[in-house]
Structure 1
Amino acid sequence: MKQMIILFSLIVAAMANAQNQRFIYEYKFITDSTAKDKQLSETMYLEVASKGSKFYSKDYFQSDSTMRAITEKDTESISINLGDFKFKGKIRYNIEKMYPEYSINFFTTLGSDEYLVQEKRKQDWKILPEKEKIGEFNTQKAVCDFAGRKWTAWFTTDLPIQDGPYKFYGLPGLIVKIEDNTHSHSFELKGSQKLPAGYEWKSTKDKERYHTLITINEAKFKKAYYDYRQDPMKSQKQMLAEGTIIEMRDSTGKLLDPVEASRKQEAAAKANIKKQNNIIELDLLK
């Protein structure tokens, strides 16, 4: 990283103004309940500015920016060389919280469709007396039920912003660590950076895109998520039916048969979905 990560011992002194900071979290997760020994991890950023915060995967954001630069060359025909480009990062969503009301926009993709889910849920925190030192922070315990899981958070008033990783917010200080009671999903603060000079908070909904952003509420997204798990290639099939040309090539640049390539892609997608049985929001599976 070009910017020096501020060590925990220095963060508090730098946080007289908690805005314009990028908080770096380690996200550890197990999405396949049949393979609990295969824990994955991802570096996540929580960027805090005066307008609000953004939460996203460091690696996926970089890959997405590169892919968008490539596809900007041609909006009618999309040629994908499977050997030349691979997305980094396993977390494909990003989350915005708008201050001061902390309204949440959840951006994610299902197949080739991109969704904006306008969140209305809030966490009903219960703050407990237990305190714990995590790194250089003095933290206090809080618990809540959210999205089908029971969560334990440790927050610090040393960082006076009521925000945290993922969709979590509403405690009297920044969430330093949060984990569900099955130890399947956890976020822990690992460092901080100042955002670049001239940083401007812009919503993901305003970025240029080739397909319409689908804006829905939580109930409709749950239905869309169920439908996607049943037919993960539905949106791609619709694109082909509408005349979109999608070329797929192997690592040598050889053009693949679209029917065979799609069949293999669908089989891989369905196999991956079967392993996504322990997702962070369990209530989406019910």
Structure 2
Amino acid sequence: MKKITIFFILLSIKLMSQASFNVIYEADYKLQYKDQNIQNAIVQEDAFALLINEKESYFKNMNKYVGDSLRYEKKLNDNSNVNDHFKYYTFFRENIGVTNGKIYVTAPISNKNFKYEETNDINWNLVNEYKTIGKYKTQKATTKKYGRTWIAWFTKDIPFPFGPYKFNKLPGLILEVYDDKNDYHYTLYKFGKRKYLCKSANMNTDATLVDKSRIFDYQRKEIADQNQFNDVIEDKETLNFLRKKSAEKAKNYNPIELNIY
């Protein structure tokens, strides 16, 4: 029993720190979201890649996926043009690894890298409703997680129990998932075989392990930071205006996770 416990501890450490990921399939998703909890909030859009093998998945923003690959190949570095860096910037900077038992998250925050893990205990209710998405027959499932009620559509035609963000543990790939207010809506737009070793999956292997509660809702805290413009704006009137706007945006910020669990 002691040897088994040590094995799983070592496996956990490996998954938390590994830089590469063995990819067999890739599922690409579009996210439409409202990051402000106000009336007539602007719907924004972003893209993400879900890397899949038989036992685990790895999820990251598409800009970060491409940008990290270029950084790994030394084609994007500190000497690169600022516009090149901006092209691959994303507000969604987390790397999310999912196994059957755990979810591992690495998050760059204020020029530092942090990581946390949480139990993969999502529970779905299967609903006797079906619809066709593209060429796939899908079934509906619902769950309550992270302070929201979620609706998912999965297909048994693609027998991988994974999906976008932290959503998984259904008997087939999740093609669409959204909350009941439709603030966050993921939709699959591409799926295919991609057998290769992604060496740049996690470029933040120096991340400090912390409890999730320490960095929960960190985006709101970054948005509200009153000192974030000090090094780039000298005009006091403009600086005060930006500080006021950032405070308003942070107050109305609508994160995908409304609570930790």
Query: TM range, normalised to the smaller chain?
Result: 0.7 to 0.9
Is 1:220 equivalent to 2:220 in the alignment?
Answer: no
Is 1:182 equivalent to 2:158 in the alignment?
Answer: no
Other structure's SS at 1:61 match: helix
What's the CA shift for 1:219?
Answer: 2.1
Opposite residue 50 of structure 2, the aligned amino acid is L
CA RMSD of aligned residues (A): 3.5
Distance 1:203 1:95, change over 3 A: farther
What percent of counterpart residues are identical? 23
Task: Return 5+ residue gaps in structure 1 as ranges.
Answer: 1-18, 73-77, 235-257
Is 1:45 equivalent to 2:49 in the alignment?
Answer: yes
The Cα offsets for residues 182-219 of structure 1, whole Å up to 9 and x where unpaired, read as 111011111213214xx1256855x476xx41212222
Structure 2 partner of 1:8: none
Structure 2 partner of 1:156: 155
Distance 1:204 1:217, change over 3 A: farther
Aligned residues: 232
Q: How many angstroms apart in 2 are the aligned matches of 1:269 and 1:71?
A: 31
Q: How many angstroms apart in 1 are the aligned matches of 2:226 and 2:119?
A: 27
The 5-angstrom pairing of residues 133-282 of structure 1 reads 133-196=132-195, 199-200=196-197, 204=201, 207=203, 212-222=206-216, 228=222, 231=225, 260-261=231-232, 271-272=245-246, 274-275=248-249, 277-282=253-258
What's the CA shift for 1:263?
Answer: 6.8
Contact 1:26 1:188 in 2 (8 A): yes
Structure 2 partner of 1:120: 119
What's the CA shift for 1:269?
Answer: 8.0
Q: How many angstroms apart in 1 are the aligned matches of 2:101 and 2:131?
A: 27
Structure 2 partner of 1:93: 94
TM-score normalized by structure 2?
0.73
Other structure's SS at 2:140 match: strand
Other structure's SS at 2:67 match: helix
The Cα offsets for residues 114-144 of structure 1, whole Å up to 9 and x where unpaired, read as 2212122521211111111222111111111
The Cα offsets for residues 15-73 of structure 1, whole Å up to 9 and x where unpaired, read as xxxx711111111111012264521111211111235211112123223444573776x
Contact 2:51 2:57 in 1 (8 A): yes
Q: How many angstroms apart in 2 are the aligned matches of 1:223 and 1:27?
A: 19
The 5-angstrom pairing of residues 5-84 of structure 1 reads 20-34=24-38, 36-66=40-70, 69=74, 82=82
TM-score normalized by structure 1?
0.68
Opposite residue 163 of structure 1, the aligned amino acid is F
